[in-house]
Structure 1
Amino acid sequence: MIIQTTAVSKKVETSAGPLTILHAITLAIKAGESVAIVGASGSGKSTLLSLLAGLDIATTGQVLIDNENLGDLDEEQRAKIRADKVGFIFQSFLLIPSLTALENVMLPAELAGRKDAEDQARELLGKVGLGERLTHYPNQLSGGEQQRVAIARAFIGQPKILFADEPTGNLDSTTGHTVEALLFEMNKAHGTTLVMVTHDSTLAQKCDRVLEMQAGELKEQSVNVA
């Protein structure tokens, strides 16, 4: 299993006292599997995704990525795992305002020392329909265009695991279908494990498995039959 959790919970302090966001989540995801996490807003989907990706740490329980227990690592060690093995498509884009679309996509590959960073970034931006917008800054791009830049950036490292938080949520239907195709192309062609949060039931049904969250609990695991 490339991702495993055991009795993972997440609690935060609020003015009204402790609030439990996730309750004892145990799951296992195989390498190369595509998994959708669905559920109502506030059910804990994005929190779970952040824990699986090592962007946040569980209050109790264990999260393992490729047999590495994230709870045993410091932030620098977790950052290295993310850099080496993980791509993340954020719902809020998180592009660097002072960098162009091309530079935003190149950045992870440059940090990894890849000499083909610019060529790869140009190719990926072309695939998401932004070949003519390479030199534009995030504030010169629409929300949908920024989302596509974020998707290209997540792809450039050819990660073992790709996490996506509402990857098509800000896209028109035509571009959304293009992005869906790219997600599953990477999943199939490179054996990339794909884990996504989505409200799109049609997109979820294209995954190998659907996990349903309800009020911070994993209520159901259904396998999609092609």
Structure 2
Amino acid sequence: MQDTDTLSALTIEKLNHSVTTSNGQLDILKGINLHIKDGESVAIIGASGSGKSTLLGLMAGLDQHTEGSIRLYGEALEQLDEEGRAILRGRYVGFIFQSFHLLPSLTALENVMLPNELKGNRKADDRARELLEKVGLSHRIEHYPRQLSGGEQQRVAIARAFASAPKILFADEPTGNLDGKNGVLVEDLLFDLNKQQGTTLVVVTHNPELAARCDRQIEIHDGELKES
């Protein structure tokens, strides 16, 4: 394994992605080429259905692309099976899902502790409490997801993504379920992580204020990239 400090965070070359539907093949992404530097913040914008979330999931190794190459810190995702991609995600990746993906049987605290517990980190509890306080939920740590509002669940999901101090953080509409005050709070957390820890930040968003805070904005139109 090469030293990640000497590598680009992400390099995509000639990426195509298609799915088979009842009406035949649907081309979602077409000829994507993209280079993201280590520590850079990038916003991916575009209309609904343009392929933004699909691209984000492929970059994070959550799914396997049809053609082309995606290299995440020097590792070619197309050369890895699901287990290999999972190991790579555990090493480098944090992901904020638009639909939260919290475990319903765990409290807010336990959900945020989980990534570090899986790594055997004995300070998982302290780190989780610190992050839940940062997202304004220190009073809700013993509540289960069903007892939380959509905005509160989103903030728990964000705290969980931050828990293991990822090398690269992918965020799918991270402020989409939040009011103005909490949206700004989350934006500040994202960019604090980016600046203080050098975390590479890749965000899909419809929020123009959030996009404007990133180093670069990249637009997807009908599955093709255009630099803004």
Both structures adopt the same fold (TM-score exceeding 0.5): yes
Question: What is the CA–CA distance in structure 1 between the aligned matches of 2:215 and 2:125, rounded to whole Å?
Answer: 33
State the partner residue of 2:56. 49
Give the one of 157, 161, 178 matched to 1:150.
157
Give the one of 68, 74, 81 matched to 2:81.
74
CA deviations 1:78-111 (Å, max 9, x no partner) are 0011011000000000000000000000000000
SS at match of 1:162: strand
State the partner residue of 2:3. none
State the partner residue of 2:220. 213
SS at match of 2:140: coil
**Residue segments in structure 2 that go unaligned for 5+ positions in a row:** 1-7
RMSD (Å), alpha carbons: 0.5
Give the one of 187, 196, 212 matched to 1:180.
187
SS at match of 2:139: coil
State the partner residue of 2:146. 139
Question: What is the CA–CA distance in structure 2 between the aligned matches of 1:192 and 1:70, rounded to whole Å?
Answer: 20
State the partner residue of 1:87. 94
State the partner residue of 1:198. 205
Question: What is the CA–CA distance in structure 1 between the aligned matches of 2:142 and 2:107, rounded to whole Å?
Answer: 5
Give the residue type in structure 2 aligned to 1:217.
E
SS at match of 2:84: helix
- Deviation of 1:67 (Å): 0.4
Give me the TM-score of the superposition, normalised by structure 2.
0.96
| Moved >4 Å (runs of 4+) | none
Give me the TM-score of the superposition, normalised by structure 1.
0.97
SS at match of 1:20: strand
SS at match of 1:132: helix
Give the one of 4, 7, 10 matched to 1:3.
10
Percent identical pairs in the alignment equals 63
- Deviation of 1:208 (Å): 0.1
- Deviation of 1:221 (Å): 1.3
Give the one of 100, 122, 133 matched to 2:129.
122
Question: What is the CA–CA distance in structure 2 between the aligned matches of 1:197 and 1:42, rounded to whole Å?
Answer: 12
Question: What is the CA–CA distance in structure 2 between the aligned matches of 1:106 and 1:49, rounded to whole Å?
Answer: 24
Give the residue type in structure 2 aligned to 1:213.
I
Give the residue type in structure 2 aligned to 1:221.
E
**Residue segments in structure 1 that go unaligned for 5+ positions in a row:** none
Question: What is the CA–CA distance in structure 2 between the aligned matches of 1:213 and 1:134, rounded to whole Å?
Answer: 38
Question: What is the CA–CA distance in structure 1 between the aligned matches of 2:209 and 2:111, rounded to whole Å?
Answer: 30
Number of positions where the alignment pairs a residue of Structure 1 with one of Structure 2: 221
Question: What is the CA–CA distance in structure 2 between the aligned matches of 1:7 and 1:96, rounded to whole Å?
Answer: 36
- Deviation of 1:2 (Å): 1.1
Question: What is the CA–CA distance in structure 1 between the aligned matches of 2:29 and 2:75, rounded to whole Å?
Answer: 21
